[in-house]
Amino acid sequence: MSDLVTGIRHAKPTDAAAISQVFDAAWREAYLGIIPGVQLERMVRRRGPRWWGLMLRRGRPVAVLDVGKRIVGYASYGACRDARVGADGEIDELYLMPEYQGLGLGRRLFRATLNDLRDRFGRRVVVWSLIDNERACAFYERMGGRAVNRTTEQIATKPLTKIGYVFS
């Protein structure tokens, strides 16, 4: 994999199917055993190529990570949706295909997304992660995030705690 050219760019509507594939694989790997199985399956099915195409046509900022000619990761971001955390921007999703995790590509995608967010919205950026997703929490802590807030979200019958990491 090391000899393949990688790049990060803004997504286009024609990338919807590839982003959907990353979402599907990454969510199944990240949330198996955290989000109840039936609910996880519904969430993954709901966010197929048509859904991603609509988001991209509506102008939702999404960055994609290309390895060779294949999209292997993406980040979705925009203005902060929760004024209580005191952030300007928010990365609401950052996922890589499982086989590309642990290679430093997530750091590259995160930094590029963070820089674009700061250019568009301001210096302080928040990222939310389910606290049970230990790999994601460890990643954001290594990247310099400071835990600032916790909230609980009900998914099916299971309450799940989210933690917000702020980057200043």
The CATH number given to whatever domain includes residue 84 is 3.40.630.30
Residue 95 lies inside a defined structural domain of this protein: yes
- Strands annotated E in the chain: 6-10, 62-67, 70-79, 89-96, 125-130, 146-155, 158-167
pLDDT tens digit string along 150-163?
A: 999 998 889 999 99
Cα–Cα nearest to 78, from 121, 33, 37: 121
Look at residue 2 and tell me whether its pLDDT is greater than 80.
no
Residue 146 lies inside a defined structural domain of this protein: no
Domain count for the chain, please give it: 1
- Mean pLDDT score across all residues of the chain: 95
Residue 151 lies inside a defined structural domain of this protein: no
Q: Exposed (0-12), middle (13-18) or buried (19+): which is 114, by Cβ within 10 Å?
A: buried
Q: Exposed (0-12), middle (13-18) or buried (19+): which is 99, by Cβ within 10 Å?
A: exposed
Look at residue 94 and tell me whether its pLDDT is greater than 80.
yes
Residue 48 lies inside a defined structural domain of this protein: yes
Query: What pLDDT was estimated at residue 157?
Result: 84
Residue 139 lies inside a defined structural domain of this protein: no
Rounded-to-integer distance, Cα 73 and Cα 80, Å: 22
3 state SS of 69: coil
Rounded-to-integer distance, Cα 15 and Cα 68, Å: 15
Residue 68 lies inside a defined structural domain of this protein: yes
Query: What pLDDT was estimated at residue 1?
Result: 45
Sole residue written with tokens 């979705």 = 76
Query: What pLDDT was estimated at residue 111?
Result: 98
Query: What pLDDT was estimated at residue 155?
Result: 87
Give the domain range for residue 104. 6-121
Look at residue 52 and tell me whether its pLDDT is greater than 50.
yes
Query: What pLDDT was estimated at residue 5?
Result: 62
Look at residue 74 and tell me whether its pLDDT is greater than 80.
yes
Residue 75 lies inside a defined structural domain of this protein: yes
Query: What pLDDT was estimated at residue 127?
Result: 98
Residue 153 lies inside a defined structural domain of this protein: no
CA 20, 23, 29 angle in degrees (round to 5)?
Answer: 145
